[in-house]
Amino acid sequence: MYAQMVKTDANKVRDLSEMTEEERAFQARIDRGEKIEPTDWMPEGYRKTLIRQIGQHAHSEIVGQLPEGNWITRAPTLERKAILLAKVQDEAGHGLYLYCAAETLGVSRDELIELLHAGKMKYSSIFNYPTLTWADIGAVGWLVDGAAIMNQVPLQRTSFGPYSRAMIRICKEESFHQRQGYDIMMKMANGTAEQRRMAQDALDRLWYPSLMMFGPSDKDSVHSAQSMAWKIKINTNDELRQKFVDQTVSQAEYLGLTIPDENLSWNDEKGGYDFSEPDWSEFFEVLSGNGPCNRERMEARVKAWEEGSWVRDALMAHANKKEAAKTAAE
Ligand SMILES: [Fe+2]
Ligand SMILES: [Fe+2]
């Protein structure tokens, strides 16, 4: 039912015969594996899709700092605190590279942030779930950064130059994030009975939200086909979700934890696991603003933006003063 609701013409790939000369030449460049740079001609749809995708990605990095930032003051040791601080700082950096990549397409960071705060742009639904215990910080690194890597590694080959270059740098840092998360899980899973229980509980709560990170099933995905023709998207949602499950099952086994899915079983024929789909009605509820932490996340972002306005004003005043001094000296 909802498939009919969300399917639009955006899912149709434009046929070569419908394209203008310019569009055909553009598609040929993409098909040859050339990178598209900001000053090159591009179809309006390509530019818009990229702004939406890169913007959404940047917002996810920034909002994604909140659930983990929540634990910086409560990290169990100085070392864990330093590691978590570095990780959360990395996410801020990822957001900044991505806002810069989006800016090359003619949209400013301020405009993107305004759209986010007005609820007109999304960020990953996973960050609307709470981090209730220290084990959640382990599970977030292991599963959420793990899923992010699965999504982002292929994007290093995306057709838009600035996006693909940002991804190369981001992926290097993401693999550190995933390992630090798994390291926390190892400690917890091999710790006291209570720590093991916390680790299992974190996996139980974050498993399906992590599977949702790949987006709706291919048959219901709105933007897939055209984005794949433009190489803005390299793999389908279902392909990436399958890869993630296949990689994660043995990692859970090594921890001695149980993935909360009775239908999980190896399928020899497809060479991968069969698994239960997440509850997609929950996904759409969270996406539409009704997740456990949506309001809290947006309030925190808006507050940070408002309280930081004096810094932006001071930087602008300083830049203007410098510019004026330079002009006067000329
Ligand atoms: Fe990141
Ligand atoms: Fe990360």
Ligand 2: centre distance to CA 91 (Å)? 6
According to the model, what pLDDT value does residue 178 have? 96
pLDDT tens, 39-52? 999 999 999 999 99
Reduce the DSSP state of residue 122 to 3 states and report it: coil
Ligand 1: centre distance to CA 57 (Å)? 9
Ligand 2: centre distance to CA 64 (Å)? 8
61 alpha carbon, closest ligand: 1
Give the H/E segment covering residue 197. Answer: helix 193-212
Ligand 2: centre distance to CA 325 (Å)? 41
d(CA 294, CA 298): 6
144 alpha carbon, closest ligand: 2
Residue pair 236/293 in contact (Cβ under 8 Å)? The answer is no
Q: Taking the mean position of all CA atoms in its chain, how far away is CA 208?
A: 16
174 alpha carbon, closest ligand: 2
62 alpha carbon, closest ligand: 1
Residues (pLDDT < 70) of the chain are: 1-12, 222-223
d(CA 96, CA 104): 13
According to the model, what pLDDT value does residue 223 have? 64
Q: Which of 36, 61, 65, 62 is nearest to 49 (CA)?
A: 36
Ligand 2: centre distance to CA 210 (Å)? 13
Reduce the DSSP state of residue 273 to 3 states and report it: strand
Q: How far is CA 179 from CA 7, 14, 60, 138, 175, in A?
A: 38, 41, 20, 9, 6
Ligand 2: centre distance to CA 87 (Å)? 7
Ligand 2: centre distance to CA 56 (Å)? 15
pLDDT tens, 182-211? 999 999 999 999 999 999 999 999 999 999
Ligand 2: centre distance to CA 321 (Å)? 37
Ligand 1: centre distance to CA 61 (Å)? 5
Residue pair 195/135 in contact (Cβ under 8 Å)? The answer is yes
d(CA 221, CA 6): 8
**What's the whole-number average pLDDT of the chain?**
92
* Side-chain half-sphere exposure of 239, counting CA atoms within 13 A: 8
According to the model, what pLDDT value does residue 12 have? 62
Can you count the helices (H) and strands (E) in the chain?
15, 2
Ligand 1: centre distance to CA 79 (Å)? 21
d(CA 23, CA 12): 16
d(CA 167, CA 97): 9
57 alpha carbon, closest ligand: 1
Residue pair 246/264 in contact (Cβ under 8 Å)? The answer is no
Reduce the DSSP state of residue 215 to 3 states and report it: coil
87 alpha carbon, closest ligand: 2
d(CA 258, CA 138): 15
Ligand 1: centre distance to CA 90 (Å)? 7
Residues by chain with Cβ below 5 Å of ion ligand 1: 61, 91, 94
According to the model, what pLDDT value does residue 18 have? 81
According to the model, what pLDDT value does residue 1 have? 29
